[in-house]
Structure 1
């Protein structure tokens, strides 16, 4: 990436491998000096952890984040949020088969956590604060208890428990413990209401 006349190369954990950050683009993204600086800010935020991009509708939040994901080699898991979404909808989905049996399925957010994808929470401003509360431990501690009793743990804690117990990944899954991929990131997109003046 070219920043202020200097070519920067950085290795960042993303997806299932380490990718070298380059300025090559296979998309239709058209860059200008503002975009380069903004993408650089997003990259810095990514290195620290999860982040949120706030701006008015149509200002290019999604495009900028998709460009960042492309640069880092991420698979993006887009999750469209809506006002009536519950915390259960956000992490697990209960489904019923043709025989009437019900089972829990991982939501796209949990799949992203397990596979090291970038979860793009589009419309995070629409969610009720009670729904957002379920994300607190996932974002801050990289840990979450699911509604069916399963548990996701930060990669290093998972690895330590696995080593101490001598379990395999399959054995850990059988007892309901899963590993959150170290590359997993959550990016929130929030809209703003234009100021109509006083």
Structure 2
């Protein structure tokens, strides 16, 4: 790849990355710039993500912006498999989203106990989103306190984003102590029987 092609590819990637973040951080105050820089570093560490962003930049510059969302979910999931990415992104997103973007339906109509009851099934990313929204709005101590107890390190980066078919083979390779920790984490959160039963002997 010659210098001109690489420069063009870099430009496309920059445009793609910018468009991706604008939807999340639109109208954010200046301190979000720090979060953007961290997110940018994460993106450039992903295998294949640079190419994906380049393609998205081409779409925008070619006038076909309606195609921008193709593959966005897969890229987001890949990004959250970088250590700390899901937690950092969730905290930033939660500070600016509306009720409709929360992982809990009819959130504003729920009591504190109603929200707390629904928290264990959320991913670390979703927990941070809810915390940010709750802090910005009702700031209920019961809700925030419960979220803080559930916010913890995943068994490995990206665990929450993985399917059962992805988790089980990787978990089988763990030492017994790590399998036990995984079971405890799973029981505190999604509590999927397929996982807990497979490693409950650990």
User: What is the TM-score with the length of structure 2 in the denominator?
Assistant: 0.33
Structure with the higher fraction of residues in helix conformation: 2
Greater strand share, structure number: 1
The structure showing larger relative contact order (alpha-carbon pairs under 8 Å, at least 6 residues apart) is: 1
